[in-house]
Amino acid sequence: MDSSISVLVIDDERNLVRSISFSLRDEGMDVTGAYTGAEGLAQAKILSPDVVLLDLGLPDIPGLEVLVKLKAQQPDLPVIMISAHGDTRTAVKAVKMGAIDYITKPFDLDELVLLIRRSTEHMRTLREIKFLREKNSGTGPLVGNSHEMAALREAMERVGNSSGKTVLITGPSGTGKALVARALHDIRFTDAPFIEVNCATLPEQLIEAELFGAERGAYTGANQRRSGLIDLANGGTLFLDEIGEVPINLQAKLLSFLENRSYRPIGAGRERQANVFVVAATNRTLKDEVAEGRFRADLFYRLNVLPVEIPALSKRDQDVELLTAHFIEKSARQEGCEPILLSEAVQALLADYDWPGNIRELKNLIERLTILHPGKTIKADMLPTEFRPQNASFQNLGGDYRITVEDHERQLILNALKEADWRKGLAAEKLGISRHALKRRIQRLHLENCE
């Protein structure tokens, strides 16, 4: 039941308002009717509803004008426009002006109920993101309330407030290592330089000069004295992203600097000191790099004094919904358009996806969908092929494809669990998916107690 959802219906057709009210109350929602624009604005101010159903054709004030005034009163208020048949163009204009969606008369009441639920869930998620941002402002714009994210924030607070001078951030590509590095800097400093360098992008012959600096004439083309990044970061943070790409012949000099915070620019006669907080990051397993002779063991141990590990998105799947809403809001703001909405089928597909590209992949997907389908409800056939179920035909199954896929998926999982004697690790291996992905599917399909 949706007793927590309060709905304000603004429409001059009294029979329609009564019909909508009856249907929504039957779903457990609280409904208030208003029959003019002025009455609707007054009721909205008094009630602060969760969602408003607003007719475009009102007797006293144009629906678009009411929309503008509603958004001025409550900027986050979801407004669903009700348009007459043939007035779709004005309804689309209303969406561009701030309405979250529209529905055309005559409409299916089940469709309306679904639209209301989706709209209110979307806005509540956005508000939760806002709350989490304010609550966790000390650790930067890190979105997520999973156990893994709580552990990450706790580790960051300890490391950022410690006296340690070297931190190693590890995690797969796309997990947000640069965000974590910046957050660590913000915990430790209020007004200090943050110098970032991607070691993978620096030419091998120039990386030493970039890091340590060089005197005039130190090498061919050095026509003037060059300050290194270490010098620029003095008193603040030097972020060495992709540290595993540093050439082996330069690693000894970097190790020397980390041990005593002294260095010698190329061509300089004496060493210099720098008080620098060094944060390094890599998506490689440096222990394996050491074993293969591509990374110095002593440098690895020096870097790994204060390790911070960022989990893959597949290991914090309960954060996907929050991250999705965060990127929807951000992408809409960047593109200057209304945010997209996700159908229930799409939400289920994103929840089940393993995200090999991690947060970066999710961010790129939402940006793509926002650009291609601004303000629209995203359906499964709008997703790239890698997100769609491989065992279902969208064209043939139409609106019932999700039910068909879930039935087939449920049977596949049950068969695998039985064959594996209910050992989830072995069942996941048989299905060709990760253990985390199997866990998500078991929860979604309510198979926890089937053993």
Please report the pLDDT score of residue 125 as a whole number.
65
pLDDT band at residue 133 using 50, 70 and 90 as cut-offs: very low
Please report the pLDDT score of residue 126 as a whole number.
62
Cα–Cα distance, 256 to 245 (Å, whole number): 18
pLDDT digits (tens, 9 = 90+) for 82-103: 887 667 778 788 887 888 888 8
Is the N-terminal amide bond of 106 cis, ω within 30° of 0?
Answer: yes
Task: Write the CA distances from 280 to 123, 229, 246, 283, 293, integer angstroms.
Answer: 37, 14, 11, 11, 19
pLDDT digits (tens, 9 = 90+) for 9-56: 999 999 999 989 988 988 888 899 999 999 999 999 888 888 999 999
Rounded mean pLDDT, 285-314: 93
Q: What is the pTM of this model?
A: 0.59
| Whether pLDDT at 218 is above 80 | no
| Whether pLDDT at 336 is above 70 | yes
pLDDT band at residue 130 using 50, 70 and 90 as cut-offs: low
pLDDT band at residue 169 using 50, 70 and 90 as cut-offs: very high
pLDDT digits (tens, 9 = 90+) for 147-158: 888 889 889 989
Please report the pLDDT score of residue 361 as a whole number.
92
| Whether pLDDT at 427 is above 60 | yes
Angle at 230 between CA 229 and CA 232, to 5 degrees: 60
Please report the pLDDT score of residue 89 as a whole number.
79
Please report the pLDDT score of residue 241 as a whole number.
94
> Which residue segments constitute the domains of the chain, with CATH numbers given?
6-117 (3.40.50.2300), 137-311 (3.40.50.300), 316-388 (1.10.8.60), 399-451 (1.10.10)
169 φ, ψ (degrees, to nearest 5): -100, 125
Tokens of 300: 């690895």
